[in-house]
Amino acid sequence: MKKSYPLVASISFVSILLFSCAGSPRTLVPGDSMAAAKASMQIASVPETAPKRPEKPEIPPKPQEIMGLGMVNEQKMADFLLEANPEVDKNFALEFARFYIVEAQAEGINHDIAFSQMCLETGFLKFGGLVTPDMNNFCGLGAIGPEQRGEIFPDTQTGVRAHIQHLKAYASEEPLNQDLVDPRFRWVRRGRSPKIEGLTGTWASDRQYAPKIEAILERLYEYSFGENS
């Protein structure tokens, strides 16, 4: 008669073979199995490192002081103008933007503000009012009515210079650094409008004149420094 052996209810010793990441075996003695399980759970619970989202470009705050340095380069200025008015010649737009930067820097004027004002005054060079393109008048200088349509300048750069000089007359009491070409410069009470807001009711009677310049300036900055720039 064959003898039967009772099953052993508890195992006195168990060897558990684990493999590390490198493939090397490790033998665990009883009691280590629980520690291994905990370690496995901890490893499994570690989240994968998520890829960082690219940071949104920071749009600089709009300047208020008319005297100062602009930040937008000539290519962005030209592209901004062309987007609003595709009829403008691309080479002219680039040269035109360069004139605003050069002339504004010569007098210490923020060219971003001057360029935004030009966009407002000329409808992004579409004109359509008293002033016509052949007048090279980019800021409505002297335009009062049909009998006085505004000042006329011999070329584009002179017209831009006149605009910058007239803006400096409003913004500062400092003397001009270049020869005077603005015929209405002497009629301005110097330094009466150092900030954009001061142009409302002085440069133009429109109560929304300054906010309109600021709105275009904001669009210019978003175009130049925003996500799609």
Looking at residue 192, its pLDDT comes to 97
On whether residue 160 sits in a domain, the answer given is: yes
On whether residue 30 sits in a domain, the answer given is: no
pLDDT below 70 — which residues of the chain?
Answer: 1-56, 229
Number of domains in the chain: 1
On whether residue 129 sits in a domain, the answer given is: yes
Looking at residue 97, its pLDDT comes to 99
Contacting residues for 15 by C-beta, under 8 A, at least 6 apart? 27, 28, 29
The CATH number that applies at residue 144 is 1.10.530.10
On whether residue 47 sits in a domain, the answer given is: no
pLDDT digits (tens, 9 = 90+) for 176-219: 999 999 999 999 999 999 999 999 999 999 999 999 999 999 99
On whether residue 218 sits in a domain, the answer given is: yes
Q: For residue 158, give its domain range.
A: 74-225
Please name the residue ranges forming H helices in the chain: 32-45, 74-84, 90-107, 111-122, 156-171, 209-225
Contact 115, 125 (CB under 8 A): no
On whether residue 83 sits in a domain, the answer given is: yes
On whether residue 48 sits in a domain, the answer given is: no
Q: How many helices (H) and strands (E) does the chain have?
A: 6, 2
Looking at residue 19, its pLDDT comes to 41
On whether residue 61 sits in a domain, the answer given is: no
pLDDT digits (tens, 9 = 90+) for 19-34: 444 444 444 445 555 5
> Can you give the pTM of this predicted structure?
0.76
